[in-house]
Amino acid sequence: MQWFVSILLCSVVFFLCFCCGTVGKNGQYTKRREDSNVFTLLWWTPFALSQGEKRICGDGTCIFTEDRSLLRNPNVKINGFLFYGSDFDPSDLPYPRKSDQWWALLHEESPKNQPLFCHAPILTLFNITSTFRQHSNEPLTLQYLSSIDKLTDSSKYINTELKNLLQNNGIAPVIYLQSDCDTPSQRDHFVQELAKHIKVDSYGSCLQNQQLPQHLLDATATMQHQDLLALIARYKFALALENAGCPDYITEKLWRPLSLGVVPVYWGAENIKHWLPNNMSVVHVLDYNSPQQLAQYLRQLNSNDDQYERFLEHKLTKVVRNEVLKKSISDRVWGIDNDPSKVNFIENFECSVCNAMHMHQANPGRHIADIEHYGCPSPNTILGTLRANKPQHKDFKQGDHVDFNIQERGDSNQGENVVPSWGDPYNHWEEEWHRAKLESKKLGELLNSGRYSPETYHDDVLQYLIGKGHFRKYPPSVHQEL
């Protein structure tokens, strides 16, 4: 009988100590230590295939799940929601929102993808972000550059003498390789103009004038194919034109030619100088007033080997001088290209949210994303940014504040919308950006009113936008099915 009593006593003690929590000094109830340290984070937009696994992230532990039915489980507290930007759907949001629930945004994609994040009323719904902007909490700016060695490696590099020979045999000085032809930057219009003044070999489906070999035709599968890299490496210049312009938005379009020893002719992030290996690593489209003037400069470099090779310091002397770039790469805890020695950027995002929430618990403070966490400006076409009367772009230094000086369409500054003389057709992406601006404002008001639901989103926000003349080209058929 005694053993029974002992076990019973032990169980009671165990139960009291570990299961029921304790009454704190001030009389308030405090949960037992382990409970209060495990947060449940729900991927509202399924993305990471999380099945409810528990992970230790620094000082805190979190459960990551995609199971929305947990919201109806009275025993589970959802501490935060994780969103993948491309799947963000304004008609499907976890509202009403509890005041202590965190929202976290992962969005490494171009502003072409979801223009709502260009606007403050949406961005400030989030407490923490991981985007390509350097001011986000976990910046992904260098997501397409695996290492500094990649920039100095010369295993694929073709020297200038050989490139000259290849040109004598008929290849163009410039390569263009693009298969996404309708983009906010309207790069094809620009390339069309440029090609009137310098020969461009175009292999992708946009403005195609050259055929890729059969085995390289699947653009997404062969991006890293050795034969494709060897083909690009033969050129002196590669057009590196992003699909949209936003500070810190940099893709493989820049890093691939740089890594091959081909000089990129770059348009995209206006603060690009902040990230380049050396002070003369690319030809900046924005330094020229017209495609013709740019072509003239490229022709000049093409016929002067010494001048051309000043752009290849990272290959010829294997020096990368940009300390910001080197430090960002060496400080980076996540890996790319499935680096087995590091976590990927998705796991890094999950854990950084988990960590920040635990740190907030110990040390409360305000955590709200601001416009610098994404906030891309109204889409400018490349031709549109080249107008002769536009001030030259600034040299950005580390920590510089980017001032977009965003103008509404129809504002007094009509000069901003004048079509340049060489013709820059109406850009529907610009309309989408302006629609998103109105939409974010209306949606913000609806969320604050406490009346948000898929139906009120449709009635208040979409009807308002349709009334304002939006969705003429792209009717919101998906939303109307609600």
Ligand X SMILES: *[C@@H]1O[C@H](CO)[C@@H](O)[C@H](O)[C@H]1NC(C)=O
Q: Under the rule (CB under 6 A), what is the footprint of ligand X?
A: 102, 124-125, 127, 279-280, 360, 366-368
Q: What is the DSSP string of 421-464?
A: TT-----HHHHHHHHHHHHHHHHHHHHHHT---HHHIIIIIIHH
Comparing CB distances to ligand X, the nearer of 310 and 451 is 310
Instruction: Measure the CA–CA gap between 37 and 17, rounded to whole angstroms.
Output: 17
**Distance, CA of 318 to CA of 322 (rounded, Å):** 13
Tell me how far, at minimum, the Cβ of 289 lies from ligand X, in Å. Answer: 19
Q: Which residues pair with 103 in a beta bridge?
A: 81
Shortest distance, CB of residue 376 to ligand X, whole angstroms?
A: 20
Nearer to ligand X, 124 or 355 (CB): 124
Secondary structure tally for the chain: helices H, strands E: 18, 13
Residue closer to ligand X (CB basis): 242 or 313: 313
Question: How many residues make up the chain in this entry?
Answer: 482
To ligand X, the closest distance from the beta carbon of 358 in angstroms equals 12
Closer residue to ligand X in complex, CB, 222/361: 361
Q: How many CB atoms lie within 10 A of CB 18?
A: 11
Q: Which is nearer to ligand X, 444 or 476 (CB)?
A: 444
Question: Minimal distance in Å, beta carbon 286 to ligand X?
Answer: 16
Q: Number of C-alpha atoms within 13 angstroms, CB side, residue 201?
A: 19
Of 52, 141, 46, 139, whose CA–CA distance to 88 is shortest? Answer: 46
Q: In the bound complex, what is the minimum distance in angstroms from residue 86's beta carbon to ligand X?
A: 21
Shortest spacing between CB 126 and ligand X, in angstroms: 7
Shortest Å, Cβ 57 to ligand X = 18
What span, in angstroms and rounded, lies between the C-alpha atoms of 479 and 135? 33
Phi, psi of 379 (to 5 degrees): -60, 130
Cβ distance 163 to 236 under 8 Å? Answer: yes
Amino acid letter for position 101: Q
Residue 104 CB, shortest distance to ligand X, in Å, is 10
Pick from 427, 116, 111, 426: nearest CA to 269: 111
